[in-house]
């Protein structure tokens, strides 16, 4: 059964990748920076980095989902953790298949409630702890992301307007850093005085002024913000999934245990595979069917998402990357007017958010009955 628990943990990580990789890369496609294939590869790589990093920095999130949710006098059966993983995984995979961006965190919460009611009854779960540790941050995160995006976007837009048409060019041959404005005028910011190593070892073409070097412009900043959002997403989600092993008492080991590190490594790989092979459908919805985005709007959405999700992961607050990212995109779309947002898509997304907890709970109930009947 321990093997079954580990396998289901990897299956949930795969399902998470199929749905959540979109949240950080949709702006790249929606604003025309790149195509779907490249964006998904980029998001997959940084998601894996974040998931691996979470083993070191997100122990608070592991504790949030693995302790204090069941009354201390209750013995936790392995079937409970198996049912939680099964219910959450089934719902997230179903949503990914239909292109709906849903929350793995919400799915886990619903599955814990459903399986907990079957395993312990209503008195067995610590409802105040569930509300304070999980439900409250999940409810507040969309409103917070919506507000932050509306506040931050005008500031980023003002900075971007000043940056538009400019680029930095790192010139290895000349060992110099040159800035180029919209009229093609150049100014040397830095140059080494004598022979030695070049400023950068790998040159590329600075097209704007015909200089040899590495260009840093709005495109580059947008790529970086997307990578940061993907990294934050991996850091936020991986520990929640690993916590299910602790919930099932299969991996009650110290944070530096090789087996626990192996669990994080397995989740990292599974999330990466899910992101790469199954992330297209939900990415299409967020990139094309919510609102049109330009460079600056995509950058604002990514910066809002990455900052809020990373801070929450470090503090052990289980916010939903889905809700944060989607709410940021909606908030920025509203700045262009109500008609700029495709409300039918938003309606479907909100309905999916509302349905996620009861749907995952019902699936976990069914899984618990099936597992206890077969064992």
pLDDT in tens, 321-355: 888 888 888 888 888 888 888 888 788 878 888 89
Q: Measured between alpha carbons, how far is 89 from 95 in angstroms, rounded to an integer? A: 10
Would you state the pLDDT for residue 195?
55
Would you state the pLDDT for residue 248?
55
The residues facing 169 across adjacent strands are 178, 215
The pTM is what?
0.81
The CA-based dihedral angle spanning residues 322, 323, 329, 332, taken in that order and rounded to the nearest 10 degrees: -160
Q: Measured between alpha carbons, how far is 150 from 127 in angstroms, rounded to an integer? A: 34
Would you state the pLDDT for residue 334?
87
pLDDT in tens, 28-84: 998 888 999 999 999 999 999 999 998 887 677 777 777 777 887 788 888 999 999
Would you state the pLDDT for residue 201?
33
- Mean pLDDT, the chain, integer: 82
C-beta neighbour count of 72 within 10 angstroms:
7
Q: Which of 17, 7, 1 has the alpha carbon at shortest distance from 263?
A: 7
Would you state the pLDDT for residue 88?
97
Would you state the pLDDT for residue 172?
56
pLDDT interval class at 90 (50, 70, 90): very high
Residue 101 has pLDDT above 90, yes or no: no
Would you state the pLDDT for residue 120?
92
Would you state the pLDDT for residue 369?
96
Percentage of the chain surpassing pLDDT 70? 83
Q: Measured between alpha carbons, how far is 34 from 219 in angstroms, rounded to an integer? A: 10
pLDDT in tens, 199-251: 443 334 344 445 444 556 677 788 988 999 899 999 989 998 998 887 755 44
Would you state the pLDDT for residue 368?
97
pLDDT interval class at 162 (50, 70, 90): confident
Would you state the pLDDT for residue 326?
82
Would you state the pLDDT for residue 268?
96
Q: Stretch 82-101: mean pLDDT, rounded?
A: 94
pLDDT interval class at 170 (50, 70, 90): low
> Phi first, then psi: what are they for 187, rounded to 5°?
-145, 125
Domain boundaries, the chain: 3-162+222-374, 166-215
Would you state the pLDDT for residue 164?
61
pLDDT interval class at 359 (50, 70, 90): very high
Residue found under tokens 């985005």: 293
> Phi first, then psi: what are they for 167, rounded to 5°?
-155, 160
Residue 254 has pLDDT above 50, yes or no: yes
Would you state the pLDDT for residue 289?
80
C-beta neighbour count of 348 within 10 angstroms:
17
pLDDT interval class at 280 (50, 70, 90): very high
The count of residues in the chain is: 375
Residue 277 has pLDDT above 80, yes or no: yes
**What are the structure tokens assigned to 201, written together?**
């070892």
């Amino acid at each position: 059964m321990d093997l079954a628990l580990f396998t289901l943990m990897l299956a949930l990580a795969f399902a998470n990748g199929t749905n959540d990789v979109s949240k950080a890369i949709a702006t790249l496609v929606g604003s025309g920076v790149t195509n779907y294939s490249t964006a998904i590869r980029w998001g997959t790589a940084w998601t894996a980095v974040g998931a691996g990093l979470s083993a070191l920095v997100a122990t608070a999130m592991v504790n949030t989902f693995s302790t204090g949710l069941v009354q201390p006098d209750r013995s936790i059966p392995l079937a409970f953790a198996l049912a939680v993983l099964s219910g959450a995984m089934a719902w997230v995979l179903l949503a990914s298949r239909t292109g709906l961006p849903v929350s793995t965190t919400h799915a886990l919460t619903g599955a814990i409630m459903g399986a907990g009611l079957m395993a312990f009854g209503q008195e067995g779960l610590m409802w105040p702890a569930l509300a304070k540790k999980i439900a409250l941050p999940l409810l507040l995160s969309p409103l917070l992301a919506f507000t932050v995006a509306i506040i931050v976007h005008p500031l980023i837009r003002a900075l971007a307007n000043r940056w538009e048409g400019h680029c930095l060019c790192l010139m290895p041959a000349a060992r110099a850093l040159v800035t180029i404005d919209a009229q093609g005028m150049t100014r040397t910011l830095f140059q080494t005085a004598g022979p030695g190593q070049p400023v950068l070892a790998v040159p590329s073409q600075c097209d704007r002024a015909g200089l040899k070097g590495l260009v840093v412009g709005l495109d580059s900043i947008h790529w970086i913000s997307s990578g940061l959002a993907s990294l934050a997403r991996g850091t936020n989600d991986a520990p929640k999934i690993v916590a299910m092993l602790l919930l099932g008492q299969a991996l009650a080991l110290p944070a530096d245990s090789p087996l626990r590190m192996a669990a994080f490594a397995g989740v990292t790989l599974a999330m990466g595979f899910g992101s790469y092979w199954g992330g297209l459908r939900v990415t299409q919805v967020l990139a094309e069917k919510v609102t049109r985005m330009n460079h600056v709007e995509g950058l604002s959405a990514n910066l809002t998402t990455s900052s809020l999700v990373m801070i929450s992961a470090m503090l052990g607050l289980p916010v939903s990357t889905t809700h944060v990212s989607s709410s940021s995109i909606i908030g920025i779309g509203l700045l262009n007017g109500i008609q700029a947002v495709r409300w039918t898509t938003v309606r479907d997304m909100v309905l999916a958010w509302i349905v996620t907890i009861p749907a995952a709970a019902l699936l976990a109930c069914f899984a618990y009955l099936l597992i206890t009947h077969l064992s």
